[in-house]
């Protein structure tokens, strides 16, 4: 009788354990199912982005992430696009990485030489008339990001350790979709079609103008086509938005360095008709623009009102034969669609986190 009771107890215990395991498995499956539920309306937003993108001509790449919910939308998010001056964001990240390591100081004064004056946008040209010009690392970074000064950029790139160091930093943080390969002087020269090998120290706006004027129209056109297909100094929208998100979350740089970078980007003086172009007046956007030939870009972080969160957005346009104003309007329309979607749907019950 005792043996029989023991056997019954064992069977009962086994049955109970089986029931418990079965319930646990069911609960686990239900939890897993809940985790993979996505925002069912996001495909509609992606279709709207694709519809709006047609207005820019050429090829458009878009990725946006709502940073509080991790919901993402994308159009050609894994494709490569010329960064143009948006590549100044990863340069700034590597520069500030060296500052955080104590290899540079923000208040460190950098003596500038006549050979540091490079072609492109910026205001350092007037300052070079003054002998003994020196600017701090912080001043140079602000010129690079606020007004997209190319001379300041190439000095910052040198201080960051060169293009290889910037790309290496991107790889270290797990971002494969961003490559920095050339100075702005080299990049602009390649886009224009200047094939002469000119030592970096010999670059000047006057030399660039002379070499540029010697080019034939067909040479310039062919160079622009090559430039659009060149993998150097390119990024994927996915890669750029990942970088923006990590800057915002302050896990790449010391908190004060990340906040400095975001503060400068909030004060960016270029591209008012792009990401910010159709957003409500007063919307905070920390961003960086880029423009060269058929390329028009804007990347940044939009702060939504009413505690609805933040959205990191990268919009790239390449190989466009339309006017810059048409490309900018498309960027603005895409940004507004994304802004409004996440403003009115800041969270979705059951959405994947």
Over its length of 353 residues, how does the chain's per-residue pLDDT go in tens digits?
Answer: 444 444 444 445 444 444 444 444 334 333 333 333 378 889 999 999 999 999 999 999 999 999 999 999 999 999 999 999 999 999 999 999 999 999 999 999 999 887 888 776 666 766 666 667 899 999 999 999 999 999 999 999 999 999 999 999 999 999 999 999 999 999 999 999 998 877 777 777 788 889 999 999 999 999 999 999 999 999 999 999 999 999 999 999 999 999 999 999 999 999 999 999 999 999 999 999 999 999 999 999 999 999 999 999 999 999 999 999 999 999 999 999 999 999 999 987 544 44
Residue 144 neighbours by CB under 8 Å, 6+ apart: 88, 91, 92, 152, 153, 156
In this structure, are residues 151 and 200 in contact, taking their beta carbons and an 8 Å threshold? no
Q: Which of 352, 284, 275 is nearest to 315 (CA)?
A: 275
Residue 125, pLDDT score = 64
192 lies in some domain: yes
Residue 128, pLDDT score = 64
Residue 199, pLDDT score = 79
247 lies in some domain: yes
Q: Which of 237, 295, 327 is nearest to 54 (CA)?
A: 327
Residue 133, pLDDT score = 84
CATH code, 138:
3.40.710.10
**Containing domain of residue 181, as a range?**
42-344
Residue 197, pLDDT score = 78
- Tokens 């923006």 -> residue: 244
Q: Which of 178, 174, 127, 176 is nearest to 155 (CA)?
A: 127
In this structure, are residues 311 and 254 in contact, taking their beta carbons and an 8 Å threshold? no
11 lies in some domain: no
Domain count, the chain: 1
Q: Which of 243, 235, 219 is nearest to 295 (CA)?
A: 235
Residue 201, pLDDT score = 74
Longest pairwise C-alpha distance within the chain: 108
51 lies in some domain: yes
Q: Which of 338, 337, 294 is nearest to 316 (CA)?
A: 294
Residues forming beta bridges with residue 75, ordered by sequence position:
62
Indicate the pTM of the whole model.
0.86
230 lies in some domain: yes
């Amino acid at each position: 009788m005792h043996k029989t009771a023991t056997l019954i107890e064992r069977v009962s215990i086994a049955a109970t354990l089986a029931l418990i395991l079965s319930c646990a498995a069911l609960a686990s499956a239900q939890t897993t199912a809940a985790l993979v539920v996505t925002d069912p309306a996001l495909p509609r937003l992606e279709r709207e982005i694709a519809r709006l993108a047609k207005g820019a001509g050429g090829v458009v790449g878009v990725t946006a992430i709502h940073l509080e919910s991790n919901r993402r939308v994308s159009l050609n998010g894994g494709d490569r696009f010329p960064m143009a001056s948006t590549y100044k964001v990863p340069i700034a990240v590597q520069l500030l990485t060296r500052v955080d390591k104590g290899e540079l100081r923000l208040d460190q004064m950098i003596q500038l030489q006549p050979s540091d004056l490079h072609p492109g946008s910026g205001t350092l040209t007037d300052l070079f008339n003054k002998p003994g010009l020196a600017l701090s690392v912080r001043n140079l970074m602000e010129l690079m990001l606020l007004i997209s000064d190319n001379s300041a950029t190439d000095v910052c790139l040198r201080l960051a350790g060169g293009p290889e160091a910037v790309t290496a930093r991107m790889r270290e943080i797990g971002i494969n979709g961003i490559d920095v390969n050339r100075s702005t002087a080299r990049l602009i020269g390649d886009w224009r079609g200047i094939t002469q090998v000119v030592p970096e120290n010999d670059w000047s706006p006057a030399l660039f103008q002379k070499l540029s004027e010697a080019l034939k129209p067909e040479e310039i056109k062919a160079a622009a086509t090559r430039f659009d297909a060149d993998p150097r100094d390119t990024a994927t929208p996915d890669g750029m938005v990942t970088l923006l998100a990590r800057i915002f979350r302050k896990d790449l740089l010391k908190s004060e360095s990340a906040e400095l970078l975001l503060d400068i980007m909030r004060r960016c003086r270029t591209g008012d008709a792009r990401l910010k172009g159709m957003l409500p007046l007063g919307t905070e956007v920390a961003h960086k623009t880029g423009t060269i030939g058929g390329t028009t870009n804007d990347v940044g972080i939009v702060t939504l009102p009413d505690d609805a969160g933040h959205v990191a957005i990268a919009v790239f346009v390449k190989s466009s034969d339309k006017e810059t104003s048409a490309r900018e309007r498309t960027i603005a329309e895409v940004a507004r669609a994304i802004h409004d979607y996440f403003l009115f749907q800041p969270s979705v019950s059951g959405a994947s986190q």
